[in-house]
Structure 1
Amino acid sequence: MKRITRSCPWGLALLIALYVAPVIADDKPVLNVFVLAGQSNMAGADSEVAIPPGFVQTTADRETRFTMAPLPDGEKSPQYVPWGEIRGHQAKGKLVHGPEVGFARTLYAAGWRDMALIKVHANFGRDAQSWPWGKGEALHEAWTRFVDTRLEELKAGGHRVNVCGFLWHQGIDDAIHGRLAAEYQQNLSDLIGVLRSRYAIENTPFVLARSVKSRIAQRAPDPDGTAPMSVVRRAQVAVGESVPFAAWINVDDLPNVNTHHFSADSQLVIGERYGKAYLDLKQTDGD
């Protein structure tokens, strides 16, 4: 933003200094904020890397703001990562990273700057009677509370914020537990609308990764495609192809470690695919 300055008499300037409340400085850039959410693959479970920072950092990693926490504990969790540069973080006793690294690097290479990433992750159990990520549910409330607080922290630092997109990697819980699989397409479509309404606008990009089949699911024959895993995977593609300004990415070709988790190298590729899909959507949104 071009700054415009005007001179005024020193007396008037003094009165302004005494009686006008402070405002956000216009010389700070607008931060481009992205919200990342999902379950263990969004966390980067089992994508083990070396000692901190966990990988060879690039300029994109150092210049991108990043914060993360598991839900529902959020900042009360010992795994909470307050605002800082992108680096490895703890998940189940291992230093790991998720798709945030490849995503930030891809956008940085495309010319994006002043980025801030807010990541959460959570799993749910077989006793879930309704979709925990949905509006009004405990997990959703913990998620939005965490995001709201992080956004307020940025604003308190004098920044203006613009939520530019959402990344999603979740669905294996629904497939493994089975009961909620048939509702996945509607649940996720509704969630996209809720997020856009709360944080952004109706054409804010939403990119999801189709869940890879777990080894448990792969052992069970499913010639008719009626198993919960098949239902969820079809629903994810349907959402990515039917919801305006949404897209899905494929991760089936990437090698797994520990059932359905991905290595650190695979997580870099997933992040790159998120980034490319996001940039493709931005070309069509008229922004």
Structure 2
Amino acid sequence: MKTNLLSVNNIFTALIGISFASFAAATGAQPLKVFVLAGQSNMVGVRSEITALPENLKTENPDILFFDGQTWAPMKPGNTEAKGFGPEISFARKIHDAWKEPVGIIKHSKGGSMLASNWSPRSTKENLLAELLARVKAAQAAREIEIVGVLWMQGESDAVNEKRAALYANNLDLLIERFRSEFNNPALLFLCARVNPPEDRYPTAAIVRKAQEECTYAHYRLIDCDDLEKVGDNLHYNTRGIIELGNRFADAALKPKIAATP
């Protein structure tokens, strides 16, 4: 009889456990893993065309979520920017396919923005960094999330003059430190796409590229963009270029972390 009672108790306990697990899953008790995307026009994806997207990237996936500033919803081309799409479309799909679990995207980017001013933690001008951090807080209020990485596609505007370019290395360090402090994660993954604007119009591009290449922070990874396809201005990536940029961000994010001092 004791054996039977134990069996009943075990079954009851198991059912309770399953019920709680189901409730946790239904209520989103597990934090949603989220990547934060920031930068300027190539992060926006200003020259992308939704009509040129492969069909598998046009469809919504309920496990790939985008925060629009107010609510979380399934991500799709056209709801991440006023029109078109950025690298988040292919990036999030590849991450989800690898992880087999929900993934979230928070994005804030603006064409022509500068690290020296708009993204600087010390700037008092229009501060896109402050706006992005406010968006993250709103996303955290909407549901429980875990920020697992930052994607950075920016630098062309700082490559226009020597003063801004010379400050890029220090400003990049400050940006990484600010993100890690705000998100309370000294080992936060930071993925930086190396810019490659035409040097005839961006004469100090080499200085910015060098700063991006020589950043020595742990868990910092550089994305090579030199062979990505562009439109006729030789500055902005076309649809295929944006898709490949997202894939390269994902490949870098999926590499295992190497233990190091942040």
Following the alignment from structure 1 to structure 2, what is the Cα–Cα distance between the partners of residues 234 and 175? 11
Q: Which residue of structure 1 aligns with residue 63 of structure 2?
A: 63
Deviation at 1:219, TM superposition (A): 6.3
- Give the residue type in structure 1 aligned to 2:90: G
Q: Which residue of structure 2 aligns with residue 78 of structure 1?
A: none
Paired residues of 1:48 and 1:264 also in contact (CA < 8 A): yes
CA distances 1:160-190 after superposition (whole Å, capped 9, x unpaired): 3111111000000101244311010110111
1:284–1:120 distance in 2 versus 1, CA, 3 Å: same
Q: Percent of aligned positions with the same letter in both sequences?
A: 27
Q: Which residue of structure 2 aligns with residue 245 of structure 1?
A: 219
Paired residues of 1:61 and 1:104 also in contact (CA < 8 A): no
Following the alignment from structure 2 to structure 1, what is the Cα–Cα distance between the partners of residues 184 and 76? 27
Matched, 1:276 2:219: no
Q: Residue 214 of structure 2: SS of its match in structure 1? A: helix
Following the alignment from structure 1 to structure 2, what is the Cα–Cα distance between the partners of residues 83 and 258? 36
Paired residues of 1:163 and 1:200 also in contact (CA < 8 A): no
- TM-score by structure 1 length? 0.72
2:138 to 143, 149, 163: 149
- TM-score by structure 2 length? 0.78
The CA RMSD measured in Å over matched residues stands at 2.9
Matched length: 234
Q: Residue 132 of structure 1: SS of its match in structure 2? A: coil
Q: Which residue of structure 1 aligns with residue 8 of structure 2?
A: none
- Give the residue type in structure 2 aligned to 1:140: L
- Give the residue type in structure 2 aligned to 1:204: L
Deviates more, 1:183-192 or 1:58-67: 58-67
* Unaligned segments of structure 2, at least 5 residues: 1-13, 18-22
1:229–1:36 distance in 2 versus 1, CA, 3 Å: same
Q: Which residue of structure 2 aligns with residue 263 of structure 1?
A: 238
Q: Which residue of structure 2 aligns with residue 169 of structure 1?
A: 153
Q: Which residue of structure 1 aligns with residue 7 of structure 2?
A: none
Following the alignment from structure 2 to structure 1, what is the Cα–Cα distance between the partners of residues 179 and 201? 36
1:111-126 aligned within 5 A: 111-124=99-112
Q: Residue 55 of structure 2: SS of its match in structure 1? A: coil
Paired residues of 2:180 and 2:188 also in contact (CA < 8 A): yes
Following the alignment from structure 1 to structure 2, what is the Cα–Cα distance between the partners of residues 120 and 34? 11
Matched, 1:131 2:122: no
Deviation at 1:47, TM superposition (A): 0.9
Deviation at 1:86, TM superposition (A): 2.0
Following the alignment from structure 2 to structure 1, what is the Cα–Cα distance between the partners of residues 39 and 241? 17
